[in-house]
Structure 1
Amino acid sequence: MNTTDIEQNNRENFRCLLDTFSMPGTVKNINKLFDSYTLAIASVLLYSEVTYLNLTKEDFSIINAITNSKESTVEETDYLFCDSLKDVLRVIKKGTHLNPDYSCTIICLCDSFDGENITLRGPGINNQRDENYPVNKEFIEEFNNNNISYPLGNEIVFLNKNNGQIKSLCRTTKLEIA
């Protein structure tokens, strides 16, 4: 019988998430949970006091049972799991000055990191870094606008659903077309 230590898996995947947020442009591999990379990230991030919205084809019923996290709307959710970033940055919550942590983190599933070549600047980046992300020019403008009033803003995790690689952008990262 093949068993998985969910707690150990969550610790390892959490470390990968932290590394990608603290060093934007870094690529890490996460471990599957329940034969899914998406559910692996959901298991790390979700618990009974946060909300989520799943706009992917993944079945979250087992995550619901394990985490007791509640589903919400796109405007109010803490964690948004999606296959496309089209129009979501305009409506998700960005936190308040009193509670900047009341913002939405996006987990965007993609087939690869191919896309726009972007120059990243900010904390965790030595001077600047050029990287490919599966986004377009409109996204770059919206992302920068959402994160203009630090500490308000959003974080985004890009998850390659084919191989479990993750790459993130945090609210302190400034983006430019390379």
Structure 2
Amino acid sequence: MDKIDIEKLNRENFRSMMNALSRPGSIEEIKPLFKSNLLAVANTLLYAEVSYFYKGNEDFELINAITNSKELSENEADYVFCDKLDEELFEAGKIGTMKDPEFSSTYIFKCKNFEGIEVKLSGPGINGSSNHTLPISKDFIEKFNNKNSTFPMGNEVFFINEKAQVLALSRTTKVEVL
């Protein structure tokens, strides 16, 4: 059995995730944990003082044991994980308040790849604007732009594909369908 330096893995994955978030539309590599990209991200983000909600088929029991984070409902959780894009789940999450915008939900969606609707991204971290394809729907774009319309409130969204890559949209990103 190979030894896993979980702390090192978490540091590397956290850096990749923050790079993706600071440059929306960019693609970063992550390293799987227990052969799972989603569990690697969950282990990176979760700890005893935060909560999560998970909708899917992966086994989160080991992550529960390692992180000791609390499982709450989708409208109370700090981190929301899902095996696919789920617009209703996205709409249910908290967006924080003007005084405490950090009390919002961060979403992590699994996807096969980053192919989908062609969009134009603009905002902080993007030089002017850039065109990308994202594994989302027009309805999701409308919900994303609506939930993130009152800065500093809003949500960050991470997409993790089957190739162990992550792409993110920050709450300050503007998404337009092309």
Compute the TM-score of the two structures, normalised by the length of structure 1: 0.97
1:111 is matched with: 112
Q: Measure, in 1, the Cα distance between the counterparts of 2:75 and 2:93.
A: 5
2:133 is matched with: 132
2:23 is matched with: 23
Q: Is the 8 A contact 2:9 2:31 kept in 1?
A: yes
Q: Measure, in 2, the Cα distance between the counterparts of 1:85 and 1:123.
A: 26
The offset of 1:128, in angstroms, is 0.2
Unaligned runs of 5+ in 2: none
Q: Measure, in 2, the Cα distance between the counterparts of 1:75 and 1:172.
A: 21
Q: Is the 8 A contact 1:89 1:146 kept in 2?
A: no
Residue identity in the other structure for 1:112: N
Q: Is the 8 A contact 2:90 2:107 kept in 1?
A: no
Moved over 3 A (4+): none
1:95 is matched with: 96
1:67 is matched with: 67
1:148 is matched with: 149
Aligned residues: 177
> Percent identity over the alignment?
46
Residue identity in the other structure for 1:147: N
Q: Which deviations, in whole Å up to 9, do the C-alpha atoms of 1:63-110 show, x marking residues without a partner?
A: 000100010001101101012222123211000111100000000000
The offset of 1:15, in angstroms, is 0.4
Q: Measure, in 1, the Cα distance between the counterparts of 2:89 and 2:143.
A: 10
Unaligned runs of 5+ in 1: none
Q: Which deviations, in whole Å up to 9, do the C-alpha atoms of 1:98-130 show, x marking residues without a partner?
A: 110000000000011111111000000000010
Q: Measure, in 2, the Cα distance between the counterparts of 1:128 and 1:154.
A: 20
Q: Measure, in 2, the Cα distance between the counterparts of 1:91 and 1:13.
A: 27
Q: How does 1:152-167 map to 2 (within 5 A)?
A: 152-160=153-161, 162-167=162-167
Q: Measure, in 2, the Cα distance between the counterparts of 1:100 and 1:41.
A: 22
Matched residue SS, 1:156: strand
